[in-house]
Amino acid sequence: MITLSKKEKEIIQNSIRDVHDFPKPGIVFKDITTLLNDAEAFGVTMNHLYQRYKDMGLDFIAGIDARGFIFGASLAQMLGIGFVPVRKKGKLPYTTISQKYSLEYGFDEIEIHIDAFREKKDAKVLLIDDLIATGGTANAAAELIEKAGAKCVEACFIIGLEFLEGIDKLKEKTDVYYLIGVN
């Protein structure tokens, strides 16, 4: 499989801004908006993802609300395949299937359209988002893909927070790839 060169990794890493104490004290938020508005860094990111996935025989890319939409829709267009939005409950206009997952204090729920994979049996799906931390949303999205009759062949993230359990937890369901690791 294709991996980033040292120079490509530096370009991407240097384009990501750390925002201290957001959304609460003690958190260092990884802001990818600075990657998105850096044409070189975004180009390196998308070209790398294209090279990695172009020969994988994917049928769809599922992107997690909302930053996963940016990377997922762009990559789907580059690969000539369909894009499936994984949204928070109540945001999709047609009949949906849903998956609940736990948060620190309570539960949340994500959905996809019931016909998201166009009734293609065992569709090969890449799940994508900007970052994996505790993995709750990503695990729920992988389960939702399976519930819809498709196969989540890999989950891809721009940033993987290696010091949290999310990556290892998700690896129990599917292969996991991330461009930049933070430990």
Q: 3-class secondary structure for 26-77?
A: CCEEEECHHHHCCHHHHHHHHHHHHHHHCCCCCCEEEEECCHHHHHHHHHHH
Residue 17 catalytic?
no
Query: Active site residue: 8, 52, 67, 111, which one?
Result: 67
52 is catalytic: no
CA atoms within 13 A on the CB side of 6: 0
Cα–Cα distance measured from residue 151 to residue 24, given in angstroms and rounded to the nearest whole number: 36
User: Of the listed 10, 17, 40, 104, which one is catalytic?
Assistant: 104
Residues with catalytic roles? 67, 104
